[in-house]
Amino acid sequence: MGDFMSSMVLSGDTSGTVTVTVPAVAGTNTVTIPALTGTAVISGQNSAITAGTAQASTSGTSIDFTGIPSWVKRITVMFNGVSLSGTSSPNILIGPVAGVESTGYVSNAASILGSTVVNTNSTTNILLSGNSASAATYQGSVVLTLLNATGNIWTAQGALSRAGDFAYSYLISGSKSLAGTLSIVRITGNGTDTFDAGSINILYE
C-alpha cells in the first residue's frame, strides 16, 4: 500500500470506529504493539504493565527473572516474607543477556531502627539492607528505572521492612551502567546462604 493517506478508520465488529491519524509533521512515527495477551494502552510510548511469574523464595542461593524484553524502561521487584538461611543481606544484580554484572554499582541502604540510621554502601550489587539475621523476613519493593536507552544506565529506589527479630526499615537507592540492554534481574544473598521463606515477583513496563 502506498503512502497516500493521512488517516485510517477501523470499524468495530458491531458498532463504533477507531481512527488512526498520522501527525501532520515531517518525520517517521512508529507505533509498536507489544507481544502480550491483554490490553495495550498507547500513549506515545509502550505503557503495558506485565507481571512476571511469582517465584517461591524457599530454596536455592539465587532467584533469576530472565528474558526481560528490550523495550522495558521500568521494573518493580516485589518481596513478600523473603528470608535467607544465614545472616547475609539480600541484594539485586542486573545484567544483559550475557549474564548479571557484579561491579560498577553505586548503592546505598539506609537501615532505620527507631531514631538510629546506619548507611551501608556497595559497589558489587544493589544492596537491600545493611544488616540481617537468619530469622529476618523482608517485604516491600524496589523500582529499577532506565535513565537513558543509549547508555543502559539504570537507577534503583525502594523501601523494605524487616520482621522476625527487630522492626528494621530500609531505604534503598543506587545506579548501575550496564554493558548492554538489560535482560536479567537476580535476587541473591552472599552466594552461600539459601532462600528459605517467602516469594518474589516482578512487574515490567
Residues 96-146 have pLDDT tens digits of 999 999 999 999 999 999 899 999 999 999 999 988 888 899 999 999 999
pLDDT at 49: 87
Q: Above 50 in pLDDT, residue 44?
A: no
DSSP conformation letters of 141-175? EEEEEEEETTTTEEEEEEEEEEESSS-EEEEEEEE
Over residues 7-35, the mean pLDDT reads: 72
Residues 139-194 have pLDDT tens digits of 999 999 999 877 899 999 999 999 876 789 999 999 999 999 999 999 999 999 99
Contacts of 200 (CB under 8 A, 6+ apart): 54, 55, 57, 63, 77, 78, 79, 80, 82, 187
Domains by residue range for the chain, with CATH:
50-204 (2.60.120)
pLDDT at 4: 52
Q: How far apart are CA 187 and CA 189, in angstroms?
A: 7
Q: Above 80 in pLDDT, residue 36?
A: no
